[in-house]
Amino acid sequence: MLSDIEYYFDYAASTPVDPEVIRVMTQSLEEHPYNPHAHYHQSTMVSQQIDLARERVSECIHADPDSIIWTSGATESINLALYGTAKFYQGFKKHIITSTIEHSATKQVLKQLAKEGFEISYVSVDHNGRINLDQLRTLVRRDTLLVSVIAVHNEIGVTQALSEIAEIAHAVGAFFHVDAAQAIGKIDINVEQQGIDLLSLSAHKCYGPKGVGALYRKKNPLIMLRPLLFGGEQQQRIRPGTLPTHQIVGMGKAYQLTQLNQKSNHAKSASNAKALIQGLKQLPHTITIHVDAKYRVNDILSFQCHDVDRSALIEFLKPFQISTHSSCINQQQPRDHVLYACLSSLQAVNESIRIGMGRYTSRDAINGFVAQLNRALSQLTN
């Protein structure tokens, strides 16, 4: 019999907090209640813990620790990167480029900037969700301020050619921002080698706590941000406020564990993905996987079950916990812009579901899911 966590197939929405992360967070709450910005010995110790967490996060992306700015999560990080940069440079450059499949955090802040007079251009993607680089080259121009893309897509798992996109952006003097909330532990991120100027990070997508994230800002005097918040002098006044030590310590530990276990985690995720895909192919039903394996991370799989409505399918798949789309989309927002941008078929969109696997996904759970899917499809097609 499967444990509760083994029924969880929605790791792309959020990951369980690692027990070691819980341990260091609890220890921080119990033993270190001090304000890290005060000037006595105990607070200095807390400040050192934050510095250690900053080092651990920076090591995962091959960055200078001083380039890390703590935020309340990836959404705030994306807002600070895009809105903060745009407002600082609004008198000089007012053109921003993004893709048609970005996360709602990026979409909504750019929608707001458009209302404030910025011009937003959208580069299209192919059937795999890969950005059209030739079109991007035609869109960039001398007044382009930013190019912003998602590194690993939370709905379809596609990766992007980050270095090539950076080169295109930098050719016209534009900054390059990457939403890497879903990327840590799935692909290698090297901000220097990949030419990344701004990078948004999350803790709860890699076994850390919710409510904390970070923004990497390259140490370049030209990359300036206007703060979203105003208050004290913390974090060079870019993001003021007393730092939540326990959450930051938790994020640091989560990133450290992700880096330490990267090889074993990759091996397991590759094995799990292979088992799941083999299981799907053996079913007596027509199933289409949306993104080619060479462009997709192992942990996220989006596929279409032909002639079966996904809403009904989700009900028949219980107790397995899966999603049809991003958890960040509410009832008022248009859904599935990502799948439609790739597939251009409403029927395909309405027949597609997303599987998110992770550290605690077992082979028994995968076999159980495939068996449950087979039963569900048989009932729904007869």
Catalytic positions are: 328
- Contacts with 368 (C-beta within 8 Å, 6 or more apart), sequence order: 2, 6, 320
CB 52 within 8 A of CB 28: no
Q: What's 167's DSSP letter?
A: H
| 3-state SS, residue 37 | coil
Long-range contacts of 230-237 (CB under 8 A, 24+ apart): 232/37, 234/37, 235/69, 235/70
Query: Within 13 A of 284's CA, how many CA atoms are on the CB side?
Result: 6
- Percent composition of the chain: helix, strand, coil (DSSP 3-state, to 5): 45, 15, 40
Long-range contacts of 120-126 (CB under 8 A, 24+ apart): 120/96, 121/95, 121/96, 121/97, 122/97, 122/98, 123/97, 123/98, 123/99, 124/99, 124/100, 124/341, 125/99, 125/100, 125/101, 125/341, 125/342, 126/342
What's the rounded Cα separation, in Å, for the pair 149 and 169? 11
CB 243 within 8 A of CB 34: no
- Contacts with 343 (C-beta within 8 Å, 6 or more apart), sequence order: 127, 290, 349
Would you tell me the crossing angle of helices 19-31 and 245-260 to the nearest 10 degrees?
Answer: 150
Tokens of 100: 């048609």
What's the rounded Cα separation, in Å, for the pair 216 and 239? 12
Q: What is the CA radius of gyration of the chain?
A: 21
